[in-house]
Structure 1
Amino acid sequence: MKNADTTSAVIKVTDDTFQDFVVSSSFSKPVLVDFWAQWCPPCHMLSPVLDEIAAELSDTLTVAKIDVDENQVTAQRYGILAMPTLSVFRNGEVISQVVGARPKRRLLVDLSALL
């Protein structure tokens, strides 16, 4: 489940690939999506945390990120107004969403309740 733009265990998705890599694949295991922007300092602080989580939970969770400035259709579809926004998809639906950067420990606690 990797694509050519993957630089870590985190999958980079676009408007064109969101349906396949996030919505459809969330039927087999949950997908955590990081809606981020290049100009967003908290997004950059969160990135290495998500890399670690993606590697540690690869058996039970897929982690993806989408640049909202380059992929406005998807951002609008899911009502993303602030970055970073972390959404967990399961069975094609958003089951959890938080806005803002979180420490790794807190993210893991939040995710453990969903996995």
Structure 2
Amino acid sequence: MKEIESLAMLNALKASEKGLFILFGGQHCSVCQGIKPKLIALMEEQYPNMTLAYVDCHRDSATCAQNGVMSLPTLQVFFEGKCFIEVVRTFSLQGILDQIHRPYHLLF
């Protein structure tokens, strides 16, 4: 999982990666910290070619605000630079991974 440290770094990943899965969280968000290891394991198992990134919104609130993130956790999935999925607060990790299945297999 890549730790995003700036808006420029995140924008560069969006532009360069065929598949990008971003978790916007925070060090004081217990839900965020709870799903992070599960997300890493599921992505490595099911979608190893996608890039997984993490933005700590407590440390870099400007990057989160520029991406429309006002609530944690937020997940965004990009394929070829376009936002495919965005979910906020309440979601099923496996449900999101199921939605990624078809576009992932078309690209990779």
Per the shorter chain, which TM-score range? 0.7 to 0.9
The Cα shift of 1:45 comes to 1.3
Q: Is the 8 A contact 1:31 1:63 kept in 2?
A: yes
CA distance in 2, matches of 1:11, 1:102: 22
Q: Which of 12, 21, 42 is matched with 1:32 structurally?
A: 21
The Cα shift of 1:75 comes to 0.7
SS at match of 1:52: helix
Give 2:48's aligned amino acid.
S
Give the direction of change, closer, same or farther, for the CA distance of 1:63–1:50 in structure 2 (3 Å limit): same
Q: Is the 8 A contact 1:85 1:98 kept in 2?
A: yes
Q: TM-score, normalised by structure 2?
A: 0.80
Q: TM-score, normalised by structure 1?
A: 0.76
Q: Which has the higher helix share?
A: 2
- Give runs of ≥4 in structure 1 deviating > 3 Å: 101-104
- Asked if residue 47 in structure 1 is aligned to residue 39 in structure 2, the reply is no
Give the direction of change, closer, same or farther, for the CA distance of 1:73–1:41 in structure 2 (3 Å limit): same
CA RMSD in angstroms, aligned pairs only: 1.8
The Cα shift of 1:101 comes to 5.3
Give 1:17's aligned amino acid.
M
Q: Which position in structure 1 is the counterpart of 2:88?
A: 99
- Asked if residue 66 in structure 1 is aligned to residue 73 in structure 2, the reply is no
Q: Is the 8 A contact 1:31 1:64 kept in 2?
A: yes
The Cα shift of 1:77 comes to 1.0
The Cα shift of 1:85 comes to 0.2
CA distance in 1, matches of 2:22, 2:5: 11
Q: CA-to-partner distance for each residue in 1:29-87, whole Å, 9 max, x for gaps?
A: 2101000011111101111111112312112x111111012112211111101111000
